[in-house]
Amino acid sequence: MVQTMPLRYGMNPHQKPARVMMEDGDLPFDVLNGAPGYINLLDAMNSWQLVNELQTALELPAAASFKHVSPAGAAIATLMNEAERKACFVDDLELSPLATAYARARGADRMSSFGDWVALSQPCDEATARILRREVSDGVIAPDYEPQALDLLRRKRGGSYCVLRMDPEYRPQPMEQRQVFGVVLEQRRNDALISADTFSRIVTQNRSLSDEAIRDLTVATVALKYTQSNSIVLGHNGQVTGVGAGQQSRVHCTRLAANKSDLWFLRQHPAVFEFQFADGVSRAEQNNAIDVFFLEDLTPAEQAAWEQAFEVVPQRLTAEEKRAWLDQVRGVVLSSDAFFPFRDSIDRASRSGVKAVAQPGGSANDADVIQACDEYGMVMAFTGLRLFHH
């Protein structure tokens, strides 16, 4: 028996009617609050798979912040230092392990996470709900909710915040279908498992892949599996630090991901923690002002608008000061969903502290890419696993 649930509209308001359905059995989630939309469910189903796989692989609570069917951030519950807590805007909160995972997932790219869909691998506790309550977000999916957490979330957005409870025992059929322009496509679902063994084939002179690097490559590669291709993901200390998604050129993916990763580390510069914001400046406006602080070549109008966010306008860092700060970054990892056709991505990654790389291999230029890694002292593993996602 087909189970269906109507949706307000499809991807856009003019795409009506719209619904979600299961051809065999019940829907694997319950709506505890609000009314999910079409894009909400695309984000929910993809992000749930990501956090579920991360927890299975690393046995730690996991969280993801999704926007437009790609992760803006993803993380496991690794301890945060004080600079990371401040950069994630959670230095005033008591954090549970699950809340720590979400704070990291949301904090790496706070601008992109504005209005996100959230996925949690464990039942949502009150500490995590308190972060969600004060951030701009569309909804959350988790295997369950503590009563206090659910009460907080049901009062968010005037009572309209979308809360889904996912059946953690649900397993889809091995084959999946989609319809495009009236044509049905079918394939085996991407059930490849990411583990330490994924990174066992090391092809560089440097063969030293630490436990921390394997952990971070696992986080980056699982996130990559649910990122719109072409895609590159950088990671560090149990979290994604930069995502380059949906670009037609691999080096453009790398530049985008590396620039975002650089910004994550720049947001931890001591100068940021001395900012004095003007009264009435919202959390979102503060966050945007921090990002703009590191931009160059603002127009006079942009500069004036930025200055209005501060009680005391901060002195911008020079290019040399920013470079000196980023030169201290070590131990970043990079994972790619397909092979590198040229060495240019490795050259760019070297400026963002990348020391470990995972990619499928199989390019005609593999030797040049390996040589580039050797020049920078990087360790690179060939996974033999392409992870395109569309």
Is 390 designated active site?
Answer: yes
Domains 3-166 and 190-266+325-382 share a fold: yes
Is 389 designated active site?
Answer: no
Residue pair 238/76 in contact by the 8 Å Cβ criterion: yes
Mutual angle of helices 283-293 and 300-307, in 10-degree steps: 130
> Taking the domains of the chain in order of start, what are their residue ranges?
3-166, 190-266+325-382, 272-316
- Give CA angle at 10 (8, 13), nearest 5°: 70
Tokens 């700060």 locate to: 325
The active-site residue, picked from 33, 46, 52, 67, is 67
Residue pair 127/94 in contact by the 8 Å Cβ criterion: yes
CATH number of 190-266+325-382: 3.40.140.20
The active-site residue, picked from 33, 40, 46, 230, is 230
Predicted local confidence at residue 307, as pLDDT: 94
Predicted local confidence at residue 25, as pLDDT: 86
Q: Please name the residues in contact with 45: beta carbons below 8 A apart, sequence gap of 6 or more.
A: none
255-277 burial by CB neighbour count: b if 16+ within 10 A, else e?
Answer: bbbbebbbbbbbbbbebbeebeb
Q: Please name the residues in contact with 28: beta carbons below 8 A apart, sequence gap of 6 or more.
A: 22, 166, 167, 170
Q: Please name the residues in contact with 76: beta carbons below 8 A apart, sequence gap of 6 or more.
A: 54, 55, 58, 60, 61, 62, 101, 104, 215, 219, 238, 239
Predicted local confidence at residue 1, as pLDDT: 65
Nearest-angstrom CA–CA distance, 160 and 259: 35
Predicted local confidence at residue 24, as pLDDT: 83
DSSP state of 192: P
Predicted local confidence at residue 296, as pLDDT: 85
Tokens 């890694």 locate to: 373
pTM here is: 0.96
CATH number of 3-166: 3.40.140.20
**Which class does domain 272-316 fall in?**
mainly alpha
How crowded is the C-beta side of 270, counted as CA atoms within 13 Å?
2
Residues of the chain with pLDDT under 70: 1
CB 227: neighbour CB atoms within 10 A?
Answer: 31
Is 236 designated active site?
Answer: no
Which of 77, 80, 68 is closest to 112 using CA atoms? 68
Nearest-angstrom CA–CA distance, 78 and 158: 33
